Amino acid sequence: MPIAITPPETPVQKDLSTVVQVPPPTENKKRKIICFSDFDGTIFMQDTGHILFDNHGCGAERREVLDEQIKTGERSFRDVSEEMWGSLNVPFDDGFEVMKSTLEIDPAFRAFHAYCRQHGIPFNVISAGLKPILRRVLDTFLGEEASAHIDIVANEAEITDDGSAWKPIWRHDNEMGHDKALSMAEARAQAEEALIGDDGSVPLIVFIGDGVSDLPAARQADVLFARRGLRLEEYCQENDIAYTAFDTFADIQIEIEKIRDEDEKKTAGKGRLLLESVDGDLGWQNTHFGGSVSETASRPNWKLCRRILLQDWLDMDGLNFIVLFVHSRGQLDKGQSAT
């Protein structure tokens, strides 16, 4: 795809570190790993849009001119992209055949995706490209069954049967067309909401990319992987952004496994939710653990019932758990204890 608008430069730091920086697990808090990956140049070594534009559209020379207009800020990403996609004159199936014969998948991606499925790690594609193209590519290179386990966050498209008109249907009404940072923030909020009432897990958002166009999404991630030797890694080094370099998805799998092993040791495979401890007067005190009750109570639309194991926290014989209710009025009531 044509690159997104380059983020503004920040002061360059000379003493840079590229050591992996993964947020540590809070005590007894398991992290739910959720992966987001760029598509072009990351999962696949080539760019699907470039293949189409160079062979059936504006051509490589004009595409390079348009890319430069984005870099300099002369034109917006959305404006340039509409010109590029509008230059195509090829039926979808014919254009796909060119992509199929040109694209190379990362040699370790299939194994990595199988690993994610095996361990219940959601894997999502986030792209400035067109969803119909990305889905067809994944269906072809992975098989439809495996592809169905990948959610694609990208722009829709209207493509005429004869291929004379290709029109992106943008996700967002702004100069980007698809604001990856916004999509990532929405994904985090959805993940946090989905984990409410679960086992105390908190989302750990992983992003995998290769270019500066990935930076808006990368800034929303907890863990960033940048393909070694490409522009995203260079930008991270220039701007002191924590990341881990990778050559293939096998490198990423090794790091993800380390995170899972660390969580297993910390939590014995179990997460816990927030604990509300009892003080000497049998009043209720907030304890920060997986999100404080004060934070929860400040959200009056939350209606939760949480069970908290206490043995490791309170040495109270016979008391196994307490059920707490956060009512819609935003107040915390003592629940019922049980043995």
Round to whole Å and give the CA distance between 252 and 126: 17
Phi, psi of 106, deg, nearest 5:
-55, 130
- Please tell me what DSSP assigns to residue 177: S
As annotated, the active-site residues are 38, 40
Strand-by-strand arrangement of the 31-37 sheet: 166-169, 150-159, 123-130, 31-37, 202-209, 223-227, 244-246
Tokens of residue 139, six digits: 């269906």
Query: What is the SS3 assignment for 130?
Result: strand
- Please tell me what DSSP assigns to residue 289: S
- Cβ(245)–Cβ(233) below 8 Å: yes
CB atoms within 10 A of CB 251: 17
- In terms of C-beta density within 10 A (0-12 exposed, 13-18 middle, 19 or more buried), how is residue 12 classed? exposed
- Please tell me what DSSP assigns to residue 273: -
Round to whole Å and give the CA distance between 101 and 89: 19
Give how far Cα 5 sits from Cα of 45, 67, 126, 320, 338, Å.
21, 10, 16, 55, 57
Pick the closest to residue 122 from 195, 180, 200, 218 (CA basis).
195
Number of Cα atoms under 13 Å in the Cβ half of residue 124: 21
The total number of residues written for the chain in this structure:
339
- Cβ(136)–Cβ(146) below 8 Å: no
First to last CA, the chain: 59
State the Cα angle at 48 between 47 and 50, rounded to 5°. 65
